[in-house]
C-alpha cells in the first residue's frame, strides 16, 4: 500500500499541473467507492495537498475532492483516457488533458465533501498529525501511544498516533529505534527514538521517490528506488545490517513483521 513517501511523491508531481484546472467532465467505475468523482464536474481545482495517505484537492465551490490510493491506486495526467480495464475514475481537464485514476484491486476510494467535513471518511477524520508536520512532536507521539494497549505496529497502522505510516516504514523505524514489534507500551525515551526513526525513514523514502515492491508507480509511471535501501522490511533470514544476527519474522495482529532478535529484544 502506498505510504506517505509514495503519496507525497505523487502530490509533488501533480500539484503544479493541477493548479487552477477546470474539470469539464468526469466518469467512474459504477462502484460507490468511485462514483463521487463525478461530483467535481464544473469545478476548478485550487491546489493539491496531503494528509497522511490521503490526497486532498480543494475546489472553488467549497468542496474537496479526496482520493485514497488503497493498495494499488495510481494517478497520472494523460492526453486521453487510456484503454485500460483498471481505470476506475477520470476527470477531463481544460487544455485537453485528463487526470486518470487506475486501481487494479479496487481498494482505493474517492469522496467529494464540504471542505473539512470528513464524517463520511472516518479514517481521515480520526487520524493523528501528519508524520512530516510540525504537530508531530515526540511528546505528542508518546502521549498518543499511551492511550492504547495495542501493539505498537498496530497503533502505527491505525493512523491515530501519527498519519502516513504503514507496514514498510513502520518496520524500518522499529528496527532503527530497537523496539520489538510485539511491545504494547514503550517508555518516553523509546517513543522519542521511534519518533526520530519515523521521520528519518519517511524522509529517506521520499528522497528516493518511494518504495516499489510490486505495484507502486508515481505520477510519471516510474518506480521508486527506496526498496534498495530497506534495512529490515522483507529481509527475514538475512543478516541484520547492525549486528549480523539473522532477522526473523512473526505474525502479530494478522501482520507479518520482521525484526532483529538481538537488536530489538522483547
Q: Which residues are tagged catalytic?
A: 2-3, 53, 255
In 3D space, the residue among 124, 134, 113 whose CA is nearest the CA of residue 54 turns out to be 124
The enclosing H or E element of 111 equals: strand 109-114
List the grid coordinates of 183: 511491545
In the three-class reduction of DSSP (H, G, I as helix; E, B as strand; rest coil), residue 58 is classed as: strand
* Phi, psi (degrees; rounded to nearest 5) at 53: -100, 10
Q: Are 3 and 53 in contact (CB under 8 A)?
A: yes
Question: Distance between alpha carbon 115 and the CA centroid of its chain, in Å?
Answer: 21
Q: Edge-to-edge strands of the sheet including 63-68?
A: 49-51, 54-58, 63-68, 109-114
Amino acid at each position: 500500500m502506498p505510504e506517505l513517501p509514495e503519496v507525497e511523491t505523487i502530490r509533488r508531481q501533480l500539484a503544479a499541473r493541477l493548479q487552477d484546472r477546470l474539470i469539464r467532465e468526469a466518469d467512474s467505475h459504477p462502484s460507490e467507492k468511485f462514483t463521487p468523482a463525478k461530483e467535481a464536474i464544473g469545478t476548478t481545482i485550487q491546489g493539491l495537498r496531503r494528509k497522511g495517505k490521503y490526497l486532498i484537492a480543494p475546489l472553488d465551490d467549497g468542496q474537496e475532492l479526496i482520493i485514497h490510493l488503497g493498495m494499488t491506486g495510481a494517478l497520472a495526467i494523460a492526453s486521453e483516457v487510456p484503454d485500460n480495464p483498471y481505470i476506475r475514475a477520470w476527470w477531463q481537464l481544460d487544455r485537453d488533458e485528463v487526470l486518470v485514476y487506475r486501481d487494479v484491486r479496487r481498494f482505493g476510494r474517492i469522496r467529494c465533501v464540504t471542505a473539512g467535513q470528513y464524517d463520511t471518511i472516518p479514517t481521515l477524520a480520526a487520524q493523528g498529525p501528519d508524520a512530516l508536520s510540525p504537530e508531530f512532536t515526540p511528546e505528542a507521539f508518546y502521549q498518543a501511544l499511551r492511550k492504547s494497549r495495542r501493539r505498537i505496529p498496530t497503533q502505527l497502522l491505525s493512523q491515530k498516533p501519527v498519519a502516513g505510516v504503514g507496514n514498510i516504514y513502520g518496520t524500518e523505524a522499529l528496527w532503527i529505534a530497537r523496539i520489538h514489534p510485539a511491545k504494547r507500551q514503550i517508555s518516553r525515551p523509546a517513543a522519542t527514538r521511534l519518533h526520530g526513526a519515523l521521520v528519518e525513514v519517511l524522509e529517506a523514502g521520499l528522497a528516493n521517490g518511494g518504495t516499489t515492491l510490486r505495484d507502486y508507480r508515481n505520477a510519471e509511471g516510474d518506480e521508486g528506488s527506496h526498496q534498495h535501501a530497506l534495512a529490515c522490511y522483507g529481509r527475514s533470514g538475512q543478516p541484520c545490517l547492525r549486528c549480523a544476527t539473522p532477522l526473523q519474522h512473526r505474525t502479530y495482529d494478522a501482520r507479518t513483521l520482521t525484526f532483529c532478535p538481538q537488536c530489538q529484544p522483547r
